[in-house]
Chain A
Amino acid sequence: MNPFEIVRFALRGLLANKMRSALTMLGILIGVSAVIMLVAVGEGASRSIQQNIQRLGANTLTVSPSFAGGGGGGARGGGDAGPRTQARRLTLDDARALTDRTLAPSVKSVSPVVTAPSATAAYGAASHAIAQFVGTYPSYFEAVNKPVDQGTYFFNDDVQAARKVVVIGRTVAEALFGSADPVGERISVSGVPFTVVGVLKETGSTGTQDADDVAIAPLPAVQQSLSGFGPLNQIVVQATGADTTTAAQAEVTAVLDQRHGVTGGAADYRILNQATLQETVSQATGTFTVLLAAVAAISLLVGGIGITNIMLVTVTERTREIGIRKAIGASRGAILGQFLLEATLLSLAGGVAGVLLAFAGTRFSVAGIQPVLVPSSVVLALGVSVGIGLFFGSYPADRAAKLRPIQALRHE
């Protein structure tokens, strides 16, 4: 018999009970769209995190002091911390040592960083607490990927002369100046006057932290007026290229180990490697996505059981019809095909509707995350929905096909 006829019978069977078919489809619809959407949200989250990491700067290593000693220090794992006489802090001399071309050939630039605690900037009547007030060298801008939008950077001259100039982030500019042009204006930071020379390009918020709520000034100027000449908070090292970050990390480690007298495992600093961080984060978000998909898959399973349920009811309800069909010569294959196809059509229609819903749903951002549709998840979800129809429909269909005609006809 013609396969097309089986499709017709199956469609007729489904349309005979529109409400029931629609509700059964709904189960699959929810399952499929949940799988696709949750995977898309996971993928979106992963991309946005990756982007944020990239925004921190390309090919950079961030060296920061570690007073915990040993243990989980960033790149340097290692054995137990032995008793240590003194944990040295990061100094400007450490930074200078890293610029040595022979000891550290993979290092492109070194930017020592101090951060001023609680810097409040004021301009006229407006005031704003700057989240991050950074004192550093001009190479910092390139290393951490902060281009200037208006005005200029400050230069090495400004650093040597300890000029009180500052480049502010967009958030700070808006808080203090509104829509007016801040370049050339003087603001007072914790009572110290600074001249605004530039405004950073807007980078957008990175999760909870506003990356634009920042001000960057020459290192000595900040030390003189705000933070004092203490240790550095960070040294930002930029490697010469993406493939040399690991080499640069080794070189930096060697130089600092020597300078700090570190032997064995317990370093008094840690190095945050952009590349390693990215790897770790993408692994974590990958796990997160799998978890989401697993939860969604359960709803797909429930939808599949719904199909079995409804098909069993249908078979029972139509036992007499099956008997009639068999009495007039329907083969076992025809009956099996009809009911299997009904189940598969149900789940396929639910699957397609679910994909459409997911396409619509992923256009909206969820909790600040723009979902990214993963094509393979669409294919997978559709494939699984067809598989579910075949698998969960096979039991009821088999029961229908196995019915003896006389028993089926006598069924009330």
Chain B
Amino acid sequence: MKPSLLLSALCLTLGCAPATPPPTRETLVLTGTAYDRGLQHGTQLRSKIRSFYTTLMANSLFPFLSREQPDIATLLKEYEAERYQNGGFARELLLESAKNLERDIGRNGRDEMRGIADGSGLTYDEVLILNTFVDTTLAVRGIGLAIRQGRAPVVESVEFLGVGADGRDNSGEGAVDEADEGVIKPYVPPFFAAAVEVAVDTKLRVVFADPDGVDPQTVRVRVNEGLFTFGDPALEVVELDATRVQATWTPPSPLPAASVVTFVLSAGDKRIIEVPGPPRASFRRDEELVVTTQGAGLAPRDLSRPALTDNRTRPPPFVVGARGARAADGPLLAHSFALLDANTAHKHTVLLVHRPDTGPAYATVGWAGIVYGISGLNERGVGVACNPSDTLDNSVVGSVLDQVADLPRAKLLASGLPVGFLVKRVLERASTAAEGVGALTDIAPVYGWNCTVADDQGGLEVVELDSDVFKQGQRGVYRYTPTDRDPSMRRYSSVTDDDVIVGSSYTRNVEDSITLTLAGQRVVPQRFWSGFFFRSRRVIDDVTRRVAARTEPIDVAWLESVLVTPEVVDRSDSMNAVVLDLRRRTVHAAMGTVPATDSPFVATELGR
């Protein structure tokens, strides 16, 4: 015994024991006033807050967003000023927007951020940026993406050859071989099927157009598992003129009968953009067309998009809500959230349990230094989870519209309330889902979001939000419940009256933006430009199939199993996976790794 005791003592003194990794997920219980809670948060996570700010903002997002400066400065000359040069663009832009957003955040939110600043040693401005960058970045990135799509080739027309004379109803409109059946011109990205009951030997013809010319060698057509590129005998690519290319795909073998077939189209232009690097053409996003072949017997709206396995897209965030007969043990909300990990967010995850002096206790699933989460529940049994939904009907576009008379001096400026603060409002105020929806909708969001609110009494509602800068008459609020029906009398996004599946695209607010040309840039609805649109439609269909196939009541374990299904997990940017058990006031959260679902679900009871 003596030698081992001696050895142990020696080891304790010298440090034989290996170091242990610090936790990548934390749970903090915060009490008192908003400032007190912020101070506790800032003090306890001081190290992580500083590393999160540096690794995510200073080392990743600031330089990345600053790449947009040359492009944006061509339109908005104000950004040619000295302080936006040399990498200062992103920080200045985010700070200016943060200051503008600060007004709407409210005193409690500001006090909490001040507490974090005091506890962590960050400046208040840095904490403010950290708490507002998500929405502002999404809006600016959305504008940048729309601009890039605006200079990429457009799909001028799509035609399924022979469909107009095949004696079948291929549009689901109840008529056979009507004029232009099988032709989509002008091209509008289909929300549901592009055509149904097409022949198995149907050819596809697509015309791409671009003022800079379409590079024929970049034309790419994928049909289910088959890829056809320039030079493939099945893909005939013809330059119609200096600005248009026609691609005709002929099936090398018959398409599978009575099946769903996915076509993915893309092309790039002839103008190579050198700055910022890397040099590249402007590429049309992958346009997805889904059809059924003869014998499938499905209407366009009944088609379910199959999974794509070409590793070109990643599943976006989604929510599943269940109540009543579908959730025998009580209402549940499941959330898969993926957006921006950048190899750092997963190291800084934190579940915050707030026990304020006044108002209900609540828990949010978020990150160090950020006062909110994108999902959470309160002790009154109300839960909420939100997904981004790209839109040009956002506050930053609104700021440009407000300054359109003086574009050279105009700035990109976010306004409204960031989604995390909307989530906080729900949790701080609501006792029912309806009250939660009210808290979400009485102030405009900075960007587009789909929020699902539920309560322990069975309240379940989805709110699709935009900033309503085009004054379309709905105040940017589009609501539906599982029982609501669209004009075709189908549920918006539910299998039964007691469930809902929500993705990262609008289901009701499909005309989220009007169509106009602003300073030479086309402003169009989400489905024309968003990189989320098709993949969101696909993940909704995937999860819907799983919910439909579930014959047993939906419970926590089953929802967790859905969230970790590889087909719906973004392996690069998954940030957290959460199941909110509203009856038991329990948060089941997987986080702390990327993807988050590589971590186990850990239950945290909030209590009543």
Interaction A to B: no
